[in-house]
Amino acid sequence: AQSVTQLDSHVSVSEGTPVLLRCNYSSSYSPSLFWYVQHPNKGLQLLLKYTSAATLVKGINGFEAEFKKSETSFHLTKPSAHMSDAAEYFCVVNMNNNDMRFGAGTRLTVKP
Amino acid sequence: DVKVTQSSRYLVKRTGEKVFLECVQDMDHENMFWYRQDPGLGLRLIYFSYDVKMKEKGDIPEGYSVSREKKERFSLILESASTNQTSMYLCASTLGQGNRQPQHFGDGTRLSIL
C-alpha cells in the first residue's frame, strides 16, 4: 500500500523568510514523488518531480525538494518566500501504475 | 505545453438532473483521470481511462460514470445529481504507462447541486 501525509495543514511565513512544507510517504516500492501547487480556483500545476535520479530536485519558482529514503520524506523548501507563493501545495506519490495518491494539502500564507 | 480544457468553470444544477462534465486534452495522452476535490480531503480519484473505450473505477466511483469515445475527450457523468456531489471536479491526463510521468490538470469545474 502507499500513502502520503502532509504534516501541516497550514503554514504561515513572512515574505522573504524560508518556506518548509513537510511530506512523508509510505510505499513498498521505489516511488515517484511530485509536488503540485494550486492557486485559488485553478487546477494543479507541477512544481517538481522525483523519479529516482538525483535526490535533490529543483523545480519552478525557486522551489526544491529532497528525497530522503531513510526518513521516507520529500519536504518542499524555498529560501525566500514571495507573496505570489501563497497557495495550496500537494505532495503526491505514485508507486508503479497510474494510481496517484495525494496528500490532503498544505495551505501556505505569506505575510507582508 | 499540454493543455487540458474543462468545458465549464462553474456549473449549477438541480438534484436529480443528469450532469455532464467534459474534458479535452490536446497532447495525444493515453491516460485521463477524473478527481473530486473537497476541503481537507485532497483529491480523490473517481475514474480513469488508459485507452479509448476503456475505463477503470477509482476510489469513489459510486454515483458517477464516464465515457471515452475519442482519445482526447473524457466525460464524467452524474446520472442523478445529489447535493453530496457538490464539489470541485478536476480532470487530468498523462502520457503512457508507468509512474514516471506527471499528471497535467485542467482548471477545474466547481459544481453546485441545489
Considering only CB atoms, A102 lies closest to which of B42, B98, B107, namely B42
Q: What is the mean pLDDT of chain B?
A: 92
Residue A86 reports pLDDT greater than 60? yes
pLDDT, mean of residues B84-113: 89
When divided into structural domains, chain A yields a total of: 1
Q: Where are the domains of chain B?
A: 4-113
A41 CB burial (10 A radius; 0-12, 13-18, 19+): exposed
Q: Supply the pLDDT for residue A96.
A: 63
Report pLDDT digits (tens) over A14-70: 999 999 999 999 876 778 899 999 998 888 999 999 987 788 999 999 999 999 988
**Out of A12-16, A99-103, B48-52, B103-107, least confident range:** A99-103
Question: Residues in chain B whose beta carbon is closer than 8 A to a beta carbon of chain A?
Answer: 4, 9, 31, 33, 40-45, 48, 50, 90, 92, 94, 97-100, 102-108, 110
Say yes or no to pLDDT of B91 above 70: yes
Contact B108 A51 (CB under 8 A): no
For residue B63, is pLDDT > 70?
yes
Rounded to an integer, the average pLDDT of A67-88 is: 95
Candidate CATH numbers 3.30.930.10, 3.40.50.300, 2.60.40.10, 3.40.50.1820; the one for domain B4-113 = 2.60.40.10
Q: pLDDT band for position B2 (50/70/90)? A: low
CATH number, domain containing residue A13: 2.60.40.10
Expressed as residue numbers, the domain containing A59 is: 3-111
- Identify whether the C-beta of residue B34 lies closer than 8 Å to the C-beta of residue B47: yes
Say if residues B69 and B53 touch (Cβ distance below 8 Å). yes
B39 to A64, A106, B86: CA distances (angstroms): 26, 11, 12
- Residue A1 pLDDT greater than 80, yes or no: no
* Cα separation, A83 vs A73, whole angstroms: 26
Please report, in angstroms and rounded to a whole number, the separation of the first and last CA atoms in chain B: 37
